[in-house]
Structure 1
Amino acid sequence: MGNRIQPSPKNRWYWSYNDEPILLLGGTDKDNLFQWTDNRLQAHLDDLVKAGGNFVRNTMSGRKENDVSPFEKDNNGMYDLHRWNNLYWDRLSNFLDETSEREVIVELTLWDQHDFAGSRWNDHAWNPSNNDTLPSDTLPTTGTSDWQDHIAFFRTVEESNDAVLTHQKRFVDRILSYTLKYENVIYNITNEGWAGIEWERHWAEHVLNRAKEHGSHVNIANMNLTPEDSVRKVIEHPETFSYVEVSQHNQNVAGASGQDHWDNLQAWRSEVADAIGPRPFNNVKIYGGYNDGNDVAGDAEQAIRWFWQNILGGCAACRFHRQVAGNEDTWGIGGSKRALTHIRSVRMIEEMVDLCSLTPHQDLLVDAVPNEAYCIANPGKSYVVYFPTGSEVTLDLEEASYHLRYLTTETATWTTHDTIDTTTEVLLNPSDQQNQIVVIAADP
């Protein structure tokens, strides 16, 4: 196996694995993939890799049907936080083996507060009512309808709740005893975190220290409930958080759509560049799975547009959020045929141009109106323009001869192929089909 996944020394907006900048792309149907057994995990990863995918999410969660807990139960059916459930850890080990073998990068989330939300808390191993380890006064014993009511679990650092914190550390150390052996893992502290910087820094520094003891360095972020917070905390604590996890900007409530989505991303990139220099921007969740107008997630059409705007916006990692056919828990298009086709389309573009060497360049679109087209380029060498809904724009070029191709991303097929003689601008007019790409590359 090559070097550990890290920000690329050649271009720190992107990741590097095996010494070369790489663009991370994914789409999977489960957040905690390690819980899948039999050949389901292998088949899902194989489909992803075949399409050109190399990026998955894994939360250390056990709240879904057929998931198992990290802790063993005693003869009375009570959890014992001193005893590990080997089945849980064997599943993690298998997952790490399978992803490493395929050179698939894992963004691993330590804590997901949705595990502790509402009625889920009533059955959770950490609930003192369900274990013989924690005194009843250390944490709430009854769930409520408010998913943030169990903030006490995320206040153990701030409130010096050593009775619980001791076991939280044992749990995290147990995870690290597996993951630090693998070079394809980056870390996210909390899913949609709202517990505050003290909690986030505590666990980030704990992971960094354990990695140092292991003789390595790992990369960590914290995904906050609002993307602005994720950006701000990386700027304020660059020695702790080495990449920016902005997934929440790919949905309707905390995020935005259309031109606003693009503009927000570019503003955050500028803030980070000015304050601490380039860092990878990850989107381990791109929402948009509902087709019935869900106001939070958005629909599938938005998912596709968020995906491409992130790619052309200079993001290092993009993954379509989970889909579960016929299930209310569907929040993205996951590893669907459509998602994999769009991943394949990105890899087709990379056969013509080096996307990791390009930078966002809306200034080159002469007459574009908001949300009409988006551009990433290395002027004079390569240009990629994305059209969400067709239309036409004029692109400024540096004087040279170029090859031009149109890509229909919905089918991953090239259409028009043309050459451009020496000129300083070109009119791009793709068909009215949605999600068209134009790739322009200078003659060698």
Structure 2
Amino acid sequence: MKTMLTFLASAASAGHLLAATALAPLSLHPENPHYFLFRGQPTVLITSAEHYGAVLNRDFNYVKYLHTLAQDGLNNTRTFSGAYVEPQGAFNIERNTLAPAPGRFICPWARSDVPGYANGGTKFDLHRWDEDYFRRLKDFLATASRYGIVVEMNLFCPFYEEAQWRLSPQNAINNIQGLGTVPRTNVYTLDKHGGLLAVHEAMTRKIVTELKDFDNLYYEICNEPYFGGVTMAWQKHIADVIVATEKELGVRHLISMNIANGKAKVTDPHPAISIFNFHYAFPPDTVAMNYDLNKIIGDNETGFKGTNDTHYRMEGWAFILAGGGLYNNLDYSFTVGFEDGTFAYHAKQPGGGNPDFRRQMRTLSQFIHSFDFVKMRPARELVKGGLPDKAHVQMLAEPGRQYALYLFGGKEAQLQLDVPAGTYSVQWVYPRTGQKTPAQPVRHEGGLLTLATPAYEPDIALRLVRAQP
């Protein structure tokens, strides 16, 4: 494995696009499809990543950004295709990477010779591709591959307000074909799109074809399709386009569907969907609600809980320890000029993120990957008592062998766990600092196992593993 990764690093640094590396794309783990299999290893995707503009914003140094993610021990990023772009100042985001400066926006469609794009430069030709864009996109994937980072390629996004629709190449005011003379709420439909469906199909086929050789990739059909008039029929149609295109290419990448903010029960899922993503998913009830799908349940956007680390750390730990397979904190400290994630944003930013928070996410990643988690299942019911008032607890377990517990709230606890008799190694982890207590053996004679936590505030994690006979 080490030899293969060394080869990938040298290939990417030489500017190759990693074709014919013989690596299978990211997939569901065959033994437990709630988790990923990536380059032969069981994998949970955990990150704190930029606001999706790394490719479409010409000024963003994605090489420095991806290097930072890798140094911070994170393994996922999310990027938008350019079918959607934001104006500066949108959502009160300071130095928004999804809002390029005038004339600095790049997307799949080539520019024409006709002046008049709403944010600088000429209008777009929806019948021609911008090869500079695809070179940038593929180099982004190649660089991420070198660092072992999986890319969520988000194809589309609804237009929340007229301000975003005004900047879209799909709007008739911005393309020479005059396509898109429809309300923004009709764009992503099968019957009211005004000729744009063929544009969506062509862009999907083009991106899927260009990225066919990358293993560090999955596709998300549409960000937050529960806004802006996006129909489920249209989403399923785009999924069919991905599947048909990849069938012709002889490859298969995972496909994600963004389901809801918070929680929702998935009904009548498209058979090609392998990842069901939610936003702002705390408490993580949506994992249990959809666990019987036997697919990845992800939380791939956070925010609107202030700029302090505490909530977003809690959301990540709770979601993963509830059985989720993916967590992506939306990190606003990554901006143009601060691709090392050190930008100090204003206090009213709609989310958080900073170097210290990313270290907290590295602790989470190291914690879950220290287990043979493919054999574990959600097991909060095995916590029988001893919790502080209003505390939140989640636990994964392979009963009798390994237990991973996260506790938020209070300052100490006398946990009572339903654990079989045996000798176990007990180790406590502080999610905020990453500090660990020395592992201590505990002999349990049967019944409820009582474990006294060390003092903590506001959260602590437990690694309980049965000693080998």
TM above 0.5, yes or no, is yes
The answer to whether the Cα contact below 8 Å between 1:289 and 1:330 also exists between their aligned partners in 2 is no
Once residues 166 and 276 of structure 2 are traced to their aligned partners in structure 1, the CA distance between those partners, rounded to angstroms, is 34
Q: Does 1:426 align with 2:450?
A: yes
Equivalent position SS for 1:268: helix
1:101 aligns with 2:146: yes
Deviation at 1:416, TM superposition (A): 4.7
Moved more, 401-410 or 42-51: 42-51
How far did 1:186 drift?
1.0
Which position in structure 2 is the counterpart of 1:12?
33
Shift of 1:67: 3.1
2:401 alignment partner AA: K
Match of 2:236 among 167, 178, 201: 201
- Other structure's SS at 2:298 match: strand
CA contact (8 A) 2:236 2:270 kept: no
The residue aligned with 2:289 is: 267
Map 1:39-78 to 2 at 5 A.
40-61=61-82, 62-63=85-86, 64-65=99-100, 66-71=104-109, 72-76=111-115, 77-78=122-123
Corresponding position of 1:82? 127
How far 1:318 sits from its partner (Å)? 0.8
- Scaled by the length of structure 2, what TM-score is found? 0.79
CA displacement at 1:386 relative to structure 2? 1.1
Q: Provide the rounded CA distance (Å) in 2 between the counterparts of 1:304 and 1:105.
A: 21
Give me the identity figure in percent: 17
Counterparts of 1:21 and 1:226, CA distance in 2: 27
Structure 2 residue aligned with 1:139: 181
CA 1:181–1:356: 2 relative to 1, 3 Å? same
1:87 CA drift (Å): 3.0
The one of 46, 52, 57 equivalent to 1:25 is: 46
SS at structure 1 position matched to 2:461: strand
2:384–2:416 contact (8 Å) kept in structure 1: yes
| Counterparts of residues 150-169 of structure 1 (less than 5 Å) | 150-155=184-189, 157-159=190-192, 161=194, 163-169=195-201
Q: What RMSD, in angstroms, separates the aligned Cα atoms of the two structures?
A: 2.5
Shift of 1:240: 2.8
CA distance in 2, matches of 1:119, 1:351: 43
Q: Cα distance, 1:287 vs. partner?
A: 2.7
* Contact 1:289-1:300 at 8 Å conserved across structures: no
Distance 1:352 1:54, change over 3 A: closer
Partner residue in 2 for 1:380: 400
Q: Which segments of 5 or more consecutive residues in structure 1 lack a partner in the other structure? A: 141-148, 251-256, 292-298
Task: Name which of structure 1's ranges 47-56 and 70-79 shifts more when overlaid on structure 2.
Answer: 70-79
What is the distance in 1 between the residues matched to 2:272 and 2:312? 31
The residue that corresponds to 2:466 in the other structure is: 442
Give the AA of the match of 1:119.
Answer: A
> Where in structure 2 are there 5+ consecutive unaligned residues?
1-20, 87-98, 116-121, 334-343
After TM superposition, the structure 1 stretch with the greater mean CA deviation from structure 2, 280-289 or 187-196, is 280-289
Determine whether 1:113 maps to 2:158.
Answer: yes
For residues 284 and 410 of structure 1, do their structure 2 counterparts lie closer, same or farther at Cα, with a shift above 3 Å needed? same
How far does residue 288 in structure 1 lie from its aligned partner after superposition? 5.0
Kindly tell me: are residues 351 and 171 of structure 1, through their superposed partners in 2, closer, same or farther at Cα, counting changes over 3 Å? Answer: closer
Report Cα offsets for 1:48-68 as digits up to 9, x if no partner: 223321111111134312432
Following superposition of structure 1 onto structure 2, how do residues 324-339 of structure 1 map, counting pairs within 5 Å?
324=333, 325-326=344-345, 330-334=349-353, 336-339=354-357
Structure 1 217/99 Cα, relative in aligned 2: closer, same or farther at 3 Å? same
How much has 1:410 moved relative to structure 2?
1.1
Once the 2 structures are TM-superposed, how far is the Cα of residue 380 of structure 1 from its aligned partner?
1.4
Any residues of structure 2 matched to 1:203-282 within 5 Å, and which? 203-226=238-261, 228=263, 231-232=265-266, 235-246=267-278, 248-250=279-281, 257=282, 261-269=283-291, 273=292, 277-282=293-298
Matched, 1:190 2:211: no
Name the SS for the 2:455 alignment partner: coil
Equivalent residue letter for 1:110: L
Indicate conservation of the 8 Å contact 1:113/1:193, yes or no.
yes
When the two structures are aligned, how many residues end up with a matched partner?
404
Structure 1 residues 266, 351: closer, same or farther in 2, change over 3 A? closer
Alignment match, 1:145: none
Deviation at 1:439, TM superposition (A): 0.9
Q: CA deviation at 1:91?
A: 1.7
TM-score scaled by structure 1? 0.83
User: Does the aligned pair in 1 maintain the 2:50–2:77 contact within 8 Å?
Assistant: no
